[in-house]
Amino acid sequence: MGSLVIGAVLQSIGLILVTGMIAHVTMAAAIGRRLSLREAWAATRGQRWRLIGLTFLLSLLTMVLVGGFVLAWVLALFVLEGWQIFWFGLVASLAFAVLMLLFWVRVYYLSVPPLMLEDLRVLGAIRRGRQLTARAFWRVFGIALLTLLITQIGGALLGAPITLAAQAATSV
């Protein structure tokens, strides 16, 4: 169990740092320049701790939202009865899904590029991310959804051989 936790933490930190590098690679590609892996890594120098801090803050905000939802459910289970619980669950779940979707698009999704590409601190990057999505919610949502779908399919395709090899090794 400990190795799984350590692996998950290391994977999360690696993903955070790669996300920061991708912002620089994308910016360079927009002006017709290609960055090597070494150049992309060097471009994140001096910003890595802020990037980790941003990720920690966004994770904390997500946990607060989820904790509030869970707390509302616990209170509802003590106060409500029968059909009231059903209707509360239906309305609260839909409202929570909308809230998390708004949070994902308006706060979470575009906070890293301003942090990496503009001279901003963590809270400034969150504000800038909100500004960038202020009048383009549905467009950003569509792009985010498509990006999520492509990365999930790509990750599954890349991970499939490793998963099959691990299953074959454990079944022998």
Question: Each residue's pLDDT tens digit in the chain (172 positions)?
Answer: 777 778 777 777 787 888 889 889 999 999 999 989 899 999 989 899 999 999 889 989 999 999 999 999 999 999 999 899 999 999 999 999 999 999 999 998 889 899 999 989 999 999 999 999 999 999 999 998 998 899 889 888 888 888 888 888 887 7
Per-residue confidence (pLDDT) for residue 109, from 0 to 100:
87
Per-residue confidence (pLDDT) for residue 128, from 0 to 100:
94
Query: With the C-alpha atoms ordered 110, 112, 114, 117, is the resulting torsion angle positive or negative?
Result: negative
Query: With the C-alpha atoms ordered 78, 81, 84, 85, is the resulting torsion angle positive or negative?
Result: positive
Per-residue confidence (pLDDT) for residue 29, from 0 to 100:
92
Per-residue confidence (pLDDT) for residue 125, from 0 to 100:
93
Q: Is the pTM of this model over 0.75?
A: yes
- Name the region of 74 (left: φ>0; alpha: ψ -120 to 50; beta: rest): alpha
Per-residue confidence (pLDDT) for residue 13, from 0 to 100:
79
CA distances from 26 to 49, 56, 120 (A): 21, 23, 18
Please enumerate in sequence order all residues whose Cβ is within 8 A of that of 24, keeping only pairs 6 or more positions apart, or say none.
35, 40, 43, 44, 116, 117
Domain boundaries, the chain: 49-134
